[in-house]
Structure formats: C-alpha cells, structure tokens
Structure 1
Amino acid sequence: MPRIDVNRSGEMEAFVQVVERDGFSAAARQLGMTPSAVSKLVGRLEARLATQLVHRSTRKLQLTPEGKHFYERSVQVLADMDEAERCAAAGAAPRGRVSINASVPFGELVLLPLVPRFLEQHPQVTLDVTLTDRVVDLMDERTDVAVRWGQLPASDLVARRLGDTGQAIVASPAYLARCGTPRTPQELEAHNRLGSNYRRNLPDWPLQVDGRAVLVPVAGNARAGDGATLRRLALDGVGLARLSLYHVQPDIDAGRLVPVLEEFNPHEREPMHAVYLGKPGRLPARVRALLDFLVANVMLA
C-alpha cells in the first residue's frame, strides 16, 4: 500500500506563499513559521519532484519554468481544497481576502459606494481594492477580479458582463463660452481635444456623418493617465473630453458639463466586464460572492 504524505498540501501552501510574498521571510511571517522551516518545506517539495522550482539569491527570488507551472496549478489545487472544505461545512459563509482592480472613475463612482453593502452581506470577507486605469496582469498583480470596459481581447481570462455604457464629448459651460460650441466634426479642429496617455488610449474620437464613420484625431495641450483627471480638466474648462456616460452623467444633469455634437454621436455602447482567472465552477466562494454581487448590483448610465 503506498504511503500517504499528509503534508503535501503544507509543502504546496508554503511554496505558494513564498512566490506570492516574494521571499521566504515574508512567507514565514504569513504562515507563522520560521524562514528555515519554510525553506525546508520547499526544499523537500523540490526533492520529491526532483526538479528546481525557484532560483534563490540574497536579492531576488525567481521561478523556474517548472516552478511557474507548478505555482499556477498549486493555486488552483489549494482553492479547490478550500472550496471542498467550505462545501463540507454546512452553512459555511464566504471568508478570506478578495482583491479587485478597477479604473479610477468606475471605482469612485460605482464600486466604492457598493462596498459597505457587500461587506455587510459578507462580514467574513476582506476586500482589497486597487484603482488604476492601467490594465493589470491578474497573475502578476495577484488580483482576483478586474473590471474592464470595451471589447475584450482573446485571453485566458473568464468574463462576466456587468452592463454597458455610452460615450459623449463634453465640455464645461465656461469653455464653450470662451471658445464657442462646435457644430460639426470639422469644427473640432479649432478646439482643444484632451486625450489619454494610458495604454488603452484611443487616438481618435469616432463620430458619424450621414451614416458614415468619421474619426477625429485627439489633439490638445493636456493628456491624462486616468478618466478622473480628464473629467477634472474638462470641468475646469481646459478643453473637450470624450468620457463614459456613467462617469459624467451626474455632471451633465447638474449642468457642470455639456455634451456637444450629439447628432454625430454614434451612440455605441461599451460593455463592462468583471474578469478573473480560473474556471467558473471552481472559484473560491469569496470570489464567486463578489462576482455575483457585482452582476446583481452594478448600474451603469
């Protein structure tokens, strides 16, 4: 009868913590162990697998190709074990840390107002929120869920649709009083067209003239790395900006911003998705709880 190694999961957990904490000392603090004990567990794991998983140095820890593959599989195995234990415990509630990444505008206007209700419904979950308009790598950033707008490229990510939103070109009343209101796409050439400098920057504004698509290049004296800053520049009268309606609809309703060239707006709707790594049926309960909550509660203009 083969010997059952009851500590295989412990070795795996130690290895995953070493990778995610970027070192043996930090992993040891997380696990409540000594660095030498963690190192011994990982060394025993490498000996059993007869392969090196990490390159050790005094300054940096680097995964081998075999280590990267084993790490990815280990994360899923440990998540499955957690889920199995939760399923076995009658009435067990989602618990643990869930990290979510979203753009600054979506985070400030949509996500953060929902956080108190989510945490009230799931008191044993800790929510880790990061807001940035930079498109993050979920594996590298150790992120469970990211919210992204627009058409999604082919990838290993799984997506759940949250809704969709329109776009509008807007300016402040002060800017329009000073520089005039453009009446045709051609008149935009005389205006300050504020752009974005983040990776997903769209270099043109799409408009429609007589059923024909027209692209107006973005050209202005200011650019910004996130939508919140673009909105602020528009409110301050610096120039025109093309922004998502969910972001600026309250400003439009209050008269702080004015849509222009609406008769040329193609009124295309941009989808918004929550994306994650893994398989839908094998998610930890804490991640599934957040996804289900977002799908049920996110409302977009």
Structure 2
Amino acid sequence: MDVNRSGEMEVFVRVVEDGSFSAAARRLGLTPSAVAKLIGRLEDRLGVRLLARSTRSLMPTPEGSLFYEQASRILADIAEAEAGAGGSAAPRGRLRVSASIPFGTHCLMPLMPEFRALYPAVTLDISLTDEVVDILAERTDVAIRHGPLRDSGLLARKLGDSRRVLIAAPSYIERRGRPETPADLAGHDCLTFNYRRSFTDWVLAGPDGPRPMQVSGSLVVNNGETLRQAVLSGMGIGRTAMYHIGHDLAAGRLVQLLPEFDPKEMEEIHAVFLGRGTMPARVRAFVDFLADRVRIA
C-alpha cells in the first residue's frame, strides 16, 4: 500500500470503522504496530489528537470525527475518479442528505430501500430538521428546500409542488366547533411554529384575492411532524402541506377546514446541491432518483 497522505487517510478511516488497530491491520494487510505508527504520524502532522484510546475502547475525538467524515468523502471521490477514468464510475461513498422532518418521513425515507438496492456502494447519511441548513457549513451533499430559492451558488432540481391546507381533528371540531369564515379563526387555537423563519400569518382567499390572517394559539412547535401529532390529538387547528397529511384526510383522522377559502397557492420543492466542479456520481444518481420517484400530493 502506498503510505502517502491518502494512504494515511485510508488507515485512519479503517481504524474508526473497525474499532481497533488490529482489525484495521488485518483488512489492510499491515501489522497492528504499523497501523499505530501511521496514526501517530498523522496526528503529529495535523497537530491534533484524532483517537481517544483506552484499554477497552477506541473512539474518535471531535476533531477525529470531523476528519473521518472529510477523509471518507475524499477517499470515495478518489475511487470514483479512478473508476471514471476506467469507464465505470459507479456511485459510491458517503452521501449526506438534509430534509425537513415531514418530507423526510413521508416522501424520502419510504424510497430509501429502493435507492440502496440500486446503489449498494453508497452510504446514506440522512439528517431530518425543519431548520434550513447551510450546505457548506454542514458539509451536506443534497438538501431539500421548500418555497422560493434564494440566489446562491447552488444548483437545483425541482421535485414537485405542494399546497398548504388548514386541518383539524374531528375531536377538536366536536369540542370547539368548525370555523365557517377566516374571521372565526380568531376564536380558535391555531398551532404555529417557533423557528426563526416562521410567521403567524396564514394566507386565505378573500373577495379581493389572497390575504394574510394573523393567528395565535396555545402551542408552538419546532417541526411539522410534531404539529401533525398535536393536531391529530385534538389540540388545535394546523396549517401544513397536503403531502404531509393527505393520508390522514383520506382515513378521516383529520378534516380540511375552510376549503372554499383555500388560495391554492403552490409551494415549489427542490433538491439543491453544490454546482462547482464535476458533480460526484453519487449526488447525480440521488438527485435523478428523487426527481423520478418523488410524488407530492
């Protein structure tokens, strides 16, 4: 094995994945002492401790975890480049994906077994959050964005359109009554979000076109799935994407409210990714897969 910088990265990655010097040594065809020396040399060159060692365990330090993620990606890119030069650039390596909790739960995760079957050499690293992540800062390959896209250096692929609807559980309607006009919402518990980009205006159609209605309630949450659960339990009225609760409406667990005041405004959903340089095969394969498979109600 060529013990250069990429070779040191490979040794370190194998040690982290196998959990010991001896196991990594067997896989690499080296002696445990040679592996230990290479890790020591790497730590000396970087000036940080990468592994926390004890008599019973070996774990990466915070700096080691960061280096592991970056080294894994570099090694995958090297393997991909070599395969591409030989005409067989199969998608491989770690693919970091970020999506909202509702989209990830109801649209993304059900498709992942099929993606893994198609691309077994790709390791999926999926984070679900309703906060908008910084792709560069979070070292994310693909992120799902809802609504208008800000001008940036990112590329985007449209996955579909979604519209938001007002919903409540039958138990809430039985207890509090059904609002008949947008003005009636002032007397109801309207459940909203607490993250920075949220707002408490719900857009409804009026005689002069769509107009915002300011709402309030006794509960604010930080993600769409928690909101869905709260509405299902009868805590109040929510406003969320149709793809998120379409199955609940069909089953009668939720009821759409004020449908005649629905402005039917559509929200675009995109997969966004970095556009500098050559796109890794794993990113291209994932984005193409989503564009072909995702169905948004």
TM-score of the superposed pair, with normalisation by structure 1? 0.76
Distance change in 2, residues 1:30/1:291 (3 Å): farther
Counterpart of 1:268? 265
Q: For 1:128 and 1:224, how far apart are their aligned partners in 2?
A: 25
RMSD (CA atoms): 3.5
Equivalent residue, structure 2, for 1:287: 283
Query: Which of 205, 224, 235 is the equivalent residue of 2:221?
Result: 224
Aligned counterpart for 1:138 among listed residues 117, 135, 144: 135
Post-superposition shift, 1:34?
A: 6.2
Instruction: Find the partner of 1:107 among 104, 113, 118.
Output: 104
Q: Which amino acid aligns with 1:265?
A: D
Quickly say closer, same or farther: Cα 1:77–1:229, change in 2 above 3 A. closer
Q: CA deviation at 1:239?
A: 0.6
Structure 1: distance between partners of 2:44 and 2:138: 26
Contact 1:135–1:199 (8 Å) recurs in 2: no
- Tell me, yes or no, if the aligned pair for 1:169 and 1:241 is still in contact at 8 Å: yes
2:185–2:215 contact (8 Å) kept in structure 1:
no
Equivalent pairs counted in the alignment come to 271
Could you tell me how far apart the structure 1 residues matched to 2:47 and 2:158 are?
38
* Corresponding position: 1:193 with 2:209: no
Tell me the CA shift for residue 86 of structure 1: 2.2
- Code of the residue aligned with 1:212 in structure 2: it is G
- Judge conservation of contact 2:96–2:141 (CA < 8 Å) in 1: yes
1:212/1:90 CA distance change after superposition, 3 Å = closer
Q: Deviation per CA, 1:169-202: give whole Å up to 9, x if none.
A: 0011111111111111111101111001123313
Distance (whole Å) between structure 2 residues aligned to residue 300 and residue 37 of structure 1: 50
The one-letter amino acid of 2:202's match is W
**1:91-102 counterparts in 2 under 5 A?**
91-102=88-99
Equivalent position amino acid for 2:133 in 1: V
The structural deviation recorded for 1:156 is: 2.5
1:152-179 deviations in Å (ceiling 9; x for gaps): 2222322111111111000111111111
Q: Conserved in 2, the CA contact under 8 Å of 1:79 and 1:283? A: no
Structure 2: distance between partners of 1:118 and 1:76: 19
1:151 aligned to which of 148, 153, 162: 148
AA matched with 2:294: V
Alignment of 1:188-267 (within 5 A): 188-267=185-264
1:268 Cα shift? 0.7
Quickly say closer, same or farther: Cα 1:206–1:30, change in 2 above 3 A: farther
Matched residue type, 1:288: R
Secondary structure at the aligned position of 2:243 is classed as helix
The answer to which of 29-38 and 206-215 deviates more is 29-38
SS in 2 for 1:137: coil
Q: 2:166 aligns with which of 165, 169, 172?
A: 169
Judged with a 3 Å threshold, the aligned counterparts in structure 2 of structure 1 residues 95 and 127 are, in CA distance, closer, same or farther, namely same
Assess if the C-alpha contact under 8 Å between 1:104 and 1:133 holds in 2.
yes
Partner-residue secondary structure (3-state), 1:130: strand
Cα deviation, residue 84, structure 1: 3.0
> In 2, are the aligned partners of 1:97 and 1:125 still within 8 Å (CA)?
yes
Unmatched 5+ residue regions in structure 2? 25-33, 50-60, 64-69
Matched, 1:120 2:109: no
SS at match of 1:250: helix
**In 2, Cα distance between equivalents of 1:144 and 1:286:** 9
